[in-house]
Amino acid sequence: MVKSPAIIVFGPSARPLAQKVAAAIDGEVCEGNADFLREAFTQARPIVGICAAGILIRLLAPVLSDKMSEPPVIAVSEDGASVVPLLGGHHGANDLARAVADVTGGTAAITTAGDVRFNVALDAPPAGFVLANPENAKACMAALLAGSSAKLVGDAPWITASDLPLVDNGEIELCITNALIEGSDKKLVFHLKNLALGVGCARGCPAEELIGLVDETLATNGLAKGSVACVVSIDVKADEAALHALGAYLGVPVRVFSAEELNDQTDRLANPSQIVMDEVGCPGVAEGACLATVGSNGRLIVEKVKSAQATCAVAEANAPLSGELPGRARGRVSVIGIGPGQDEWRSGQANQLLREATDWVGYGLYLDIVEALNAGKNLHRFDLGKEEARVRHALELAGQGRDVALVCSGDAGIYAMAALVFELLDEPEDDAPVSDNARRVEIVVAPGISAFQAAAARAGAPIGHDFCAISLSDLLTPWEVIEARLHGAAEGDFVVAFYNPRSMRRSNQIVAAMDILSSHRPPETPVILATNLGRPGEHVRTTTMAEFNPDDVDMLTLVMVGSSTSRTLDTGDGKRWVYTPRGYEKKRKNNS
């Protein structure tokens, strides 16, 4: 998946140009620091620094190791006049520099020899082509720069449009093919990605069997794995593990079609099957799927081949299969905990999933909190209290092949949407609240900092020993159940974090809860009230059970009550901290 460029700024003066560049290239403006830069680089994320080149070089120096895998890194002067690709010139940096220069009105300072001399980078072909023998690229380019001519075998408009010295009997051969051909220091082989690999398999088919069948089939027919553009099948296989293992093995996307779409290919099948028709509603999966991918101008070049539990077939398109492929992706729902709201408390995984998603679904306030990461996302806003509608909508969008971020505050698995996702998917198939396609999507749960963790950190270390969290909302849980849990927590002497302590309609639960706890711990037990954690208006204060006033609590407040051993500590800077000892004092005494 293409990752959005990080537009790095080190001060406010660079921000206007950074925002202009980000809008034009679908990037994200980020504050520059060493840790962020190195993380982005190691994750192969393009970097555009609005700064001096030396800053990027010095900060990235510790993580520079593999020239062949480095992402594009570009330095742009603050006036936009100079755009310099520093790293990854043949991995997109040169093209990115040109795109940025178009925005800034500056000059892209391209320095790679092939680009300068021949206006082409043979070791970085465009989408739809892949260089099979990159280890020979340096020798071939050196020969061309020294005066050798080139011979093109096959069709490659990007080569014919370059300034390479092309002749019929050139010393350096540039071969465009989907066949298994060896390259050399005088021959570069470019695999044309025009093969669609159709597959079918029994439920639970071992990945090794499917991969083995494909490897054998391609080799037997003299076809290059590098020319496979995609793995395709029927939509009921969208969640088949072997299918996605094969896609990962080949490094290509997986796409699926409905039975109705595959039925459109019936007349083109070499081996229609009534058994398959009875099983999935179309007469051929492997052949039908690859033919649907290559379109009416493509052709079946390898008929269906079988193993014990799998089938495969290959179709050839008359042009590279790149860009938006036919069919649909499996789809993904990432249930993302964004923390209480502060950017610094949001995990790198959460940020990456938000960037990758095509659609965001969530309560409007949560979507606003992460607005800085919104670069052209489709926003699906829901009112507070519409939790099941949110989850269903997210699953159905993913069932259409979209990459969906279901945005939650705090931690997605703590009083949030993650459990509801699995609850809906766990309903019996006959009574399922979501469609079959939605039931087959990929699920990712990204943890976040929960409110009780944020409150504890602001207050000191109140959960340094055993603790629990209890929601006081009886909208979904009967009060009798909540009350029983309160007694258990009180008797067990747990530090207790109260979620949903009070609302306009529920004002008595927090009073009842404190009454239950107060019978098991002293009146001086510390109580933390944390409101708007990580957001404007944050207010964290400490009181005691004896002085606790329920009127100080609202729905944006988390209440944390210490155990009988929790203590307060006043430090010289005027701060009051709360902590709960774990028992190290006893350990120290035993060791003395």
Q: What is the mean predicted confidence (pLDDT) over 255-283?
A: 95
Type of residue numbered 99: A
The lowest-confidence range among 32-46, 387-401, 444-458 is 32-46
- Return d(Cα 563, Cα 525) in angstroms, integer: 7
- Return d(Cα 226, Cα 179) in angstroms, integer: 9
The lowest-confidence range among 181-185, 323-327, 425-429 is 425-429
Contact by Cβ (8 Å): 195, 250: no
Q: What is the mean predicted confidence (pLDDT) over 325-349?
A: 92
First-residue to last-residue Cα distance in the chain: 58
Contact by Cβ (8 Å): 351, 423: no
Which residue would you say has higher pLDDT here, 52 or 385? 52
What pLDDT score was predicted for residue 46? Answer: 93
pLDDT tens, residue by residue, 134-177:
999 889 989 998 999 999 999 999 999 999 999 999 999 999 99
Contact by Cβ (8 Å): 336, 352: no
Token pair 């039925």 in the structure block, residue: 263
- Return d(Cα 558, Cα 385) in angstroms, integer: 19
Please name each of the domains of the chain with its CATH number: 6-111 (3.40.50.11220), 129-192 (no CATH), 195-316 (3.30.420.180), 332-449 (3.40.1010.10), 452-579 (3.30.950.10)
pLDDT tens, residue by residue, 448-479:
999 999 999 999 999 999 999 999 999 889 99
Could you tell me the two tokens for 173?
């051969």
pTM value > 0.75 = yes
Could you tell me the two tokens for 501?
């302590």
Residue 586 confidence (pLDDT) above 90: no
Report the run of H or E that residue 388 belongs to, with start and end. Answer: helix 387-399
CA 404 to chain centre: 10
What pLDDT score was predicted for residue 457? Answer: 95
Contact by Cβ (8 Å): 61, 43: no
How many Cα atoms within 13 Å fall on the side-chain side of residue 530?
26
Token pair 């040109």 in the structure block, residue: 98
Report the run of H or E that residue 470 belongs to, with start and end. Answer: strand 467-471
What's the chain's Rg over C-alpha atoms? 30
Token pair 């992402």 in the structure block, residue: 71
Q: What are phi and psi of 274, to 5 degrees?
A: -70, -30
Q: What are phi and psi of 417, to 5 degrees?
A: -85, -20
- Return d(Cα 556, Cα 91) in angstroms, integer: 47
Contact by Cβ (8 Å): 406, 333: yes
> E-assigned strands of 178-321?
187-192, 195-201, 228-234, 254-257, 299-306, 310-316
